[in-house]
Amino acid sequence: MRIKLWGTRGSLAAPGADTARYGGNTSCVEVRGDDGTVLILDAGTGIRSLGNTFDPSVRRVDLLLTHLHMDHIQGLGFFRPLHDPKVAVHIWGPASTTMDLRTRLQRYLSPPLFPVHLRDLPCALELHEIPDHHFEIGEFTVSAALVCHPGPTVGYRIGNNGATMAYLPDHEPALGTRVFPMGPDWTSGYPIAAGVNLLIHDSQYSKHEYEDHVGWGHSALEHAFEFAGVAEVEHFVPFHHDPAHTDDDLDRMIRDALTAVHPAFPVTAGTEGTELAVTTQGRVVVNSSTCTRRS
């Protein structure tokens, strides 16, 4: 499978000279299979640029939303395939106990927040609430599970021909623990991430900042490294960077976390434009301007 990061920022888009290297767009990741299957993980502002690259031959796109906080859906109305009547767009998202997925998305895709109603989009649109079991999309097997984050929020595990990846952009595995990490049975998100070749994970705060943000649903960078260690992943990508963190801040945070945790796996900083591939042998190949770091 081939992966490209189109938006790596969390909470709020943060364009500017001091965020140019890591990127200012909010969460959006493209996953492609050998048979042409296209999965998109979240619809942050990065999805606009992604949509502009689509070949006219693409006739189906599957968009997997982790949750419906604004930074993860803000680019949705600007996703070009939604406005193409020749394209079938399938949107998947977590269920809610109060409203179905369509009703919740309509709160954003309708005036006064957006000028076009969801019902008026010309594409062939289908909405799916995430089932409680594995499901298939083209060549991919997808699993989802609820994780620690305010509101219904899931993480995704995606597999294909021996290659596996996990995507947990908003996740607070240390919530409610006196000492982190704990054992797998007590760790939120573990079943999604366990043993994957590639983990893309929330890394919003420094450890010091986390002390003032407990319960906000995000990870300290060191906690994210430790979570990856508990899950025994093979390659880690820190993601969902705080909008207040500059490129220099993130360089320092990642360097400090590597020194503190000494991970046994390689780490590639999550930057816009990063391209990765997971081979059928489970090997992660990185093609990016940001080098792979190893402790």
pLDDT, tens digit, 9 for 90 and up, residues 60-79: 999 999 999 999 999 999 99
**What SS3 class is residue 88?**
strand
Which residues have C-beta within 8 Å of that of residue 254, sequence separation ≥ 6?
A: 221, 238, 267, 269, 293
| Residue 238, strand partner residues | 201
**Mean pLDDT computed over 13-32:** 97
Q: What is the CATH number of the domain that holds 14?
A: 3.60.15.10
* pLDDT tens for each residue of 248-295: 999 999 999 999 999 999 999 999 999 999 998 989 999 854 444 444
Given a cut of 60, is residue 80 above it in pLDDT? Answer: yes
Number of folded domains in the chain?
1
Q: Report pTM.
A: 0.95
* pLDDT tens for each residue of 180-214: 988 898 899 999 999 999 999 999 999 999 999 99
Q: Mean pLDDT of all residues in the chain?
A: 94
Judge contact between 11 and 204, C-beta under 8 A: yes
Could you tell me the residue range of the domain that residue 74 belongs to? Answer: 2-293
**What SS3 class is residue 257?**
helix
| Residue 288: predicted pLDDT | 56
**What SS3 class is residue 186?**
helix
**Measured distance CA(64)–CA(156) in Å, rounded:** 8
Q: How many CA atoms lie within 13 A of 115 on its CB side?
A: 1
Q: Which residues of 116-149 are buried (b: 16+ CB within 10 A; e: fewer)?
A: eebeebebebebeebeeeeeebbebebbbbbbbb
**Mean pLDDT computed over 44-48:** 98
